[in-house]
Amino acid sequence: MSNDTLEVLPYGRQWIDDDDVAAVAEAVRHPWLTQGPAVTAFEDKLCEVTGARYAVACNSGTSALHMAAAAFHADGQDVSITSAVTFLASANCIAYLGGEVAFTDVDPSTALMAVDSLQQVVDRVQAQGKQVRAIIPVDMCGQPVDLPAIRAIADACGAAVIADAAHSLGGRYQVDGQWHPVGGTNLADAVTLSFHPIKHVTTGEGGAVLTNRERVRDIAQAVRCHGMHRDSARLTRPADSPWVGPWYYEQDSLGYNYRIPDLLCALGLSQMGKLEQFVARRRAIAARYDALFAERLPGVVEPLHQYPDRENAYHLYVVRVAQRDGDSLDDVAARRKSLYGWLREHKIFAQVNYVPVPWQPYWMQRAGTKPEDFPGAMAYYAGCLSLPMYPLLTDADIVRVVETIAQWAS
């Protein structure tokens, strides 16, 4: 088959069915296109699936991080800590508030926040006489982080935990033998989600803050909508004043417009009905890849390490180009670039997730970060490649990806 006739395989894509289209078509005829009942229904569904007490839906995962960070006052002189390997938004949300950001290194075999590195960063911040305000771990690729260990460190230094779960909706993890769904736990003070089309369920653009704490919900709601409210218990002027009436509202904090339209929540609600099926298919695809790579390409590409007490939701399926004896990281990076190019020639559009944040020019300048302080992140970045992973990927597609890599390797 010539390359021209090959179907393109992206690294991720959404799955929209007729019932999703019908849900949006119905919602667009409602009297409310935004701030209507679909928003609340979507939020209720998120709570039901994750076990969180409250959900505040908003217009992106980035807004959700900003809303959560605002709830813990991650601003001023205080330092918030996120992982070196994540999407830019996990760090930007702190910078929006004027807060300082520090980064932990990652375990290169999982790309997850390294707990020993977190402890070192906390010690360093405290040695500078500063307060750690928030810790923002990331469930990279869909595998939950070690939340109990991170919670313990956060408690010891008085920090909040904002879990960036943009990759892990539908995942689960064990604590003391009990399984917990991602998103509904007291181990994190807030959990954020994204509904970008590349994520598990989509609203086009969208996000949410999940929390069990009423105060966090209230602040997230205020930040979502200009800091305004009509809550009679909190209004500062008497209801019987001629200047006050049913129209009256007050602003008591600074907020933004981070609202998500009803139309999009109708899509999200429809998609959420399929989350379990989506995640089950992702896990089956990962198992197939794992088996084929172990059989066909040992020592060439290596899947990420999986912990038995964490159920990966597989937002991404990442392999690492193996580091052979005598290889420098430059050699690994060159081989990964070669594999990326080879796959692209064969219409397989892999991706690299992510360029380490402390290696970004902006953060090197703003936070004074140096790549040599993040050896795990740079080692991961040198060899990582996100292969096609989405529920519509067929078994034949999986074989095609593996065989194309096998041709490259030979």
Ligand X SMILES: *Cc1c(COP(=O)(O)O)cnc(C)c1O
353: left (phi over 0), alpha (psi -120 to 50) or beta: beta
The rounded distance, in Å, linking the Cα atoms of 93 and 318 is 26
Backbone angle region of 395, left / alpha / beta, with phi > 0 → left and psi within -120 to 50 → alpha: alpha
Q: How far is the CB of 89 from ligand X (least distance, A)?
A: 4
Closer CB to ligand X, 292 or 352, in the complex: 352
Asked if 83 contacts 137 with a C-beta cutoff of 8 angstroms, the reply is yes
**CB-wise, 62 or 369, nearer to ligand X?**
62
Q: Are 384 and 377 in contact (CB under 8 A)?
A: no
Of the two residues 111 and 132, which places its CB atom closer to ligand X in the complex? 111
Cα distance between residue 262 and residue 42, in whole Å: 9
CB of 87 to ligand X, least distance (A): 4
Contacts of 328 (CB under 8 A, 6+ apart): none
Q: What angle do CA 55, 29, 205 make, to 5 degrees?
A: 40
If the CB atoms of residues 167 and 281 are measured against ligand X, the closer one turns out to be 167
Burial environment of residue 238 by CB neighbours within 10 A (0 to 12, 13 to 18, 19 or more): exposed
Q: What is the DSSP letter of 199?
A: S
Q: Which is nearer to ligand X, 138 or 348 (CB)?
A: 138
Binding site for ligand X (CB under 6 A): 60-62, 86-87, 89-90, 138, 164, 166-167, 194, 196, 207
Least separation in angstroms between CB 156 and ligand X: 25
Under a CB-based contact definition with an 8 Å cutoff, are residues 57 and 206 in contact? yes
CB nearer to ligand X: pick between 87 and 173? 87
CA distance 264 to 45: 14
Q: Rounded to an integer, what distance in angstroms lies between the CA atom of residue 168 and that of residue 193?
A: 8
Percent composition of the chain: helix, strand, coil (DSSP 3-state, to 5): 40, 20, 40
Nearest distance in Å: CB 3, ligand X:
30
Name the amino acid, one letter, at 199. Answer: K
Please report how close the Cβ of residue 207 comes to ligand X at its closest, in angstroms: 5
Select 167 or 310, whichever has its Cβ closest to ligand X.
Answer: 167
Minimum CB distance to ligand X, residue 62 (Å): 3
Nearer to ligand X, 224 or 335 (CB): 224
Look at the block and give the residue holding tokens 């219409």: 347
Which residue lies nearest ligand X, judged by its C-beta?
61
CB of 196 to ligand X, least distance (A): 4
**Phi, psi dihedrals of residue 163, rounded to the nearest 5°:** -85, 120
Of residues 299, 318, 297, 332, the one with CA closest to residue 384? 318
Q: Minimal distance in Å, beta carbon 23 to ligand X?
A: 20
Residue 90 Cβ vs ligand X, minimum distance, rounded to whole Å: 5
Comparison of 138 and 367: residue with beta carbon closer to ligand X = 138
At closest approach, how far in Å is the CB of 42 from ligand X?
15
CA distances from 242 to 247, 251, 264 (A): 12, 19, 39
Nearest to 368 by CA among 66, 97, 102: 102
Give 61 or 181: the residue with its C-beta nearer to ligand X: 61
